[in-house]
Amino acid sequence: MLPETLQRQLTQYGITDFGEVALREALEARVSTYTLIRLADWPARRWKCRYRLMMGEGMYDAQSVAEAYALGLLSTFKGSSTAQSSDRAAETK
């Protein structure tokens, strides 16, 4: 189960199915490659997370696979909105 804050953020971008498979498919539609790692017990205790998703230069720590996919997906939305605003600003000059 995803935390409510993540669910609200995803809903703002039109994501309403918070299941692991649906989030993975949405992420795969937006990025070409990523790596999801299930951490061993000692790093999980040290970093207080069970999974780590690596995408490009980003690294996202999560308690569940669905949460890792959600964090990665949110980063793609935030990155694309920043890129779109930069493009718009360049067009107006």
Q: Give the tens place of pLDDT for each residue, 13-61.
A: 999 999 999 999 999 999 999 999 999 999 889 888 999 999 988 999 9
**DSSP element (H, E) containing 71:** helix 65-92
Is residue 42, in this structure, part of any structural domain at all? yes
How many structural domains is the chain composed of?
1
Is residue 91, in this structure, part of any structural domain at all? no
Is residue 90, in this structure, part of any structural domain at all? no
Confidence of residue 80 (pLDDT cuts 50, 70, 90): low
Whole-prediction pTM value? 0.82
Question: Is a pLDDT exceeding 50 seen at residue 92?
Answer: no
Q: How far apart are CA 28 and CA 34, in angstroms?
A: 8
Residues 6 or more apart whose CB falls under 8 angstroms from that of 47 comprise: 39, 61
Amino acid 43: pLDDT: 86
Q: Which domain holds residue 40?
A: 4-84
Is residue 27, in this structure, part of any structural domain at all? yes
